[in-house]
Amino acid sequence: VLFEEVQEAYTTQICSCCGEITSSSTDLGIREWECMSCGTAHDRDINSALNILALGHKRLAVGIILF
């Protein structure tokens, strides 16, 4: 079993579709927001989970050597 810790800072503010950081969702009381760049509607927790998953996959991929 492999465990990789990722930094979750700003994962609620980064659009999981286009990667843009938005300043409109900095208030933790805002549960849903729309990306100003691509227009995607986000649930704050689901968006954060998708970003953390992508970070984990990215870190794991660095250690994979394909021949």
Digit-by-digit pLDDT tens for the chain (67 residues) are 566 677 888 899 999 999 999 866 567 788 999 999 999 999 999 999 999 999 888 877 766 555 5
Cβ contact 21:10 at 8 Å: yes
If phi over 0 gives left and psi between -120 and 50 gives alpha, with beta otherwise, what is residue 22?
A: beta
Structure pTM? 0.77
Q: Which two tokens stand for residue 29?
A: 């009381």
Cβ contact 2:60 at 8 Å: yes
